A = this chain, B = another copy of it.
Amino acid sequence: MTEQTYLANGNEVQLFEQAYRQRLPVMLTGPTGCGKTRLVEHMGLLLARPVVTISCHDDLTSSDLVGRFIVTGGDVVWTDGPLTRAVKAGAICYLDEVVEARHDSLAVLHSLTDHRRTLYLDRAGEVVQAPENFMLVCSYNPAYRSSLKELKPSFRQRFVTLPMDYLRADREAEVIVAEAGIDPAAAERLVRCATAIRTADEAFHYEPPSTRVLVTAAHLIAAGASELDAAQACVLAPLSSDGAISEGLREVAAAGLAGADSQSPNR
């Protein structure tokens, strides 16, 4: 894991910090791989707070968040969960893809997100008042919205919401070069290829390629793969396994990469 500089896309850093100063919880929204996790890591450094990350999923119970009784040495001892530990430590607690969690697990967050800023550990019979430097951050991708999984409006209204999006093309190429160390021209061709697919996306209805997959492709190129092979394995193949669609995407991508393999040895 290399140290990375976060490249802001708008005023999200400033609003995040204002929310932190006012002890308000923040909700980050935006497509996969647009930098939500990176922003949280960046703010942790900036605000000098540790970040406790919790990946949400269908099976995450409130006990997984707040803690549970564990049998140890023949006795039963309460053990704090990651949320409780984060509250007590005054950390930034980051619930990644919060929409994936079971909604009942989220009820425990209510008293942390309003004026009470309090965590009730009903089973342990304990009440934890959050310190000033505790902050709750959630993220979710609204593109996955389904009737079953939509966050309740009353839950969304508890947060300062910061909508995020992909980087602009030039910033994106900059990130790719910085992270994978490939030729700027090759990075630009990868971005052009991704942009072509993102633009064509409405016809295909697939999740468009993220900055992350371009970085992955760049890593493969840095390891000696051809640009076409790398784009094929990292950008196109994950999009669809339907033959006809894949064919269409490949043409779109080829146009983006046009002239690449005739020109490029990469390293």
Binding site for B on A (CB under 8 A): 1-2, 4, 11, 14-15, 18-19, 21-22, 24, 27, 29, 32-33, 37, 53-62, 64, 69-76, 79, 81-82, 96-97, 100, 102-108, 110-111, 114-118, 120, 122-123, 125, 141-142, 144-145, 152-154, 156-163, 206-207, 209-210, 212-213, 216, 219-220, 222-225, 229, 233-234, 237-239, 241
Inside 8 A of A122's CB, which chain B residues have their CB?
Answer: 54, 64, 81-82
In the complex, the chain B residue whose C-beta lies closest to that of A65 is B122
A-B contact pairs, 8 of them (CB 8 A): A29-B241, A32-B154, A57-B104, A59-B62, A72-B75, A73-B76, A74-B75, A153-B206
Q: Are A69 and B70 in contact (CB under 8 A)?
A: yes
Cα of A229 to Cα of B16 in the assembled complex, Å: 12
Residue of B72, B117, B153, B161 touching A76 (CB-CB under 8 A) = B72
Q: Are A237 and B162 in contact (CB under 8 A)?
A: yes
Residue of B61, B114, B144, B210 touching A157 (CB-CB under 8 A) = B210
Inside 8 A of A161's CB, which chain B residues have their CB?
Answer: 233-234, 237-238
Q: Are B107 and A56 in contact (CB under 8 A)?
A: yes
Inside 8 A of A229's CB, which chain B residues have their CB?
Answer: 11, 15
Inside 8 A of A157's CB, which chain B residues have their CB?
Answer: 32-33, 207, 209-210, 212-213, 238
In the complex, the chain B residue whose C-beta lies closest to that of A75 is B73
Q: Are A160 and B233 in contact (CB under 8 A)?
A: yes
What's the nearest-Cβ distance from chain B to residue A226, in Å?
9
Q: Are B233 and A15 in contact (CB under 8 A)?
A: yes
